[in-house]
Amino acid sequence: MDPKDTVAILIEEAEKGAQIVLQGEDGDLEPVVVAAEPIPYGHKVALSDMEVGTPVIKYGEKMGIARKKIAVGEHVHVHNVRGLNTEERSVSARG
């Protein structure tokens, strides 16, 4: 994970209300996020609130744009994120 990440990938499915413990690059466990809804294995969970148009950051890189408002703990997938267009792909989240 990168400190700029707005999402994390689940390594097991999470039921609504499940506490999701994050593991940083150094292996240390980080604060818990509570799943706001069921989230399948391998899918993303929101680590921060995102307004419409907010970049979705995974592994320190912009990987999409929020199409809907997304709250912490919500499932982040194609229903609420759109892919990047050609111009957006050329701009890194790292600055």
Half-sphere exposure of 95 (CA within 13 A, CB side): 1
End-to-end Cα distance, the chain: 17
pLDDT score recorded for residue 89: 76
**What CATH number should be reported for the domain holding residue 69?**
2.30.130.110
Backbone angles phi, psi at 88, to 5 degrees: -70, -30
The 55-58 sheet, strands edge to edge: 55-58, 61-66, 81-82
User: What does the DSSP 8-state code read for residue 54?
Assistant: P
Q: Assess if residue 2 is contained within a domain.
A: no
Q: Assess if residue 1 is contained within a domain.
A: no
Segment holding 76, helix H or strand E: strand 75-76
Which structural domain range is residue 57 located in? 7-89
Hey, is 87 helix, strand or coil? helix
Q: Assess if residue 45 is contained within a domain.
A: yes
Q: Which residue has the higher pLDDT, 56 or 95?
A: 56
Give the number of domains in the chain.
Answer: 1
Q: What is the pLDDT of residues 17-54, one digit of tens each?
A: 999 998 877 777 777 899 999 999 999 999 999 999 99
Segment holding 64, helix H or strand E: strand 61-66
